[in-house]
Amino acid sequence: MQLGLPCITNKCTPLQTRLFFDRFIQRLDAGYNTFDIDRHKLVGPDRNCAEWLMKCGASIKFQGHDNHILEYNALPSSNFDKYKIEEIDMTDSTVMLKGFPHLHNCKHVKKIVIHNCKYLCDSCIAYLPEIKSTLEHLQISSCRYITSEGLIPITELVNLKKLIIYDLPNLEEKHKKPLLDLLKDALPKCDTELFKQ
């Protein structure tokens, strides 16, 4: 008698096996996204946020550094308060709604790229005003669960200089023009590239 994973997969159809693994990975990803207030207090907001992002497969760039950090083990091991997150690239990461409280008190974030995030939903975008005093560049693209309603909190990002939005499958065509008008009215100094790709 086989035990463990081979036992599970030998008795399942390929579809059942895939669903099992998808659920397993989703639960693992959910664990990485959990906000730990004690860790936040211990290491500070930027380090805690960096750890969350790295565990989820995102990359970050610290203020005063030239390169993005791509691996969790490359994070600085001491002097956490010296390192402030300036750029976040969530491309292909597994960030989820329950992880976005990590942005709280990150006061130096200037750029965020949110591209092809399979768990990202409208409610995630509502956390971005947490960093509106510093955020200057925002890209949201290829995220299948984002709708026009979810993009409305972007109107609060008054310091944006560049906004790029494209390839959002749940953004209906009839909502694009009203959304564009709303964003341009709310952010007159922002260079917007909407729905161009």
Q: Tell me the per-residue pLDDT of 101-126, one tens digit each, with 9 for 90 and over.
A: 999 999 999 999 999 998 899 999 99
Question: What tokens does 51 get?
Answer: 């750890």
Q: Please indicate, yes or no, if residue 17 is contained in any of the structural domains.
A: no
Q: Please indicate, yes or no, if residue 118 is contained in any of the structural domains.
A: yes
Which amino acid type is present at position 7?
C
Q: Which domain holds residue 102?
A: 34-194
What CATH number is associated with residue 134? 3.80.10.10
Q: Please indicate, yes or no, if residue 102 is contained in any of the structural domains.
A: yes
Q: Please indicate, yes or no, if residue 103 is contained in any of the structural domains.
A: yes
Does residue 69 register a pLDDT over 90? yes
User: Which residues are CB-contacts of 134 (< 8 A; sequence separation ≥ 6)?
Assistant: 107, 108, 109, 110, 159
Q: Please indicate, yes or no, if residue 108 is contained in any of the structural domains.
A: yes
CA distance 135 to 108: 8
The pTM (predicted TM-score) of the whole model is 0.84
Amino acid 14: pLDDT: 66
Structural domain count, the chain: 1
Which amino acid type is present at position 104?
H
Q: Please indicate, yes or no, if residue 154 is contained in any of the structural domains.
A: yes
Q: Please indicate, yes or no, if residue 16 is contained in any of the structural domains.
A: no
Three-state helix/strand/coil letters over the chain: CCCCHHHHHHCCCHHHHHHHHHHHHHHHHHHHHCCCHHHHHHHCHHHHHHHHHHHCCCEEEECCCCCCECCHHHCCCCCHHHCCEEEEECCCCCCCHHHHHHHCCCCCCCEEEEECCCCCCHHHHCCHHHHCCCCCEEEEECCCCCCHHHHHHHHHCCCCCEEEEECCCCCCHHHHHHHHHHHHHHCCCCEEEECCC
Predicted confidence (pLDDT) per residue in 123-156, tens digit: 999 999 999 999 999 999 999 999 999 999 999 9
Confidence category of residue 59, pLDDT binned at 50, 70, 90: very high
Q: Please indicate, yes or no, if residue 164 is contained in any of the structural domains.
A: yes
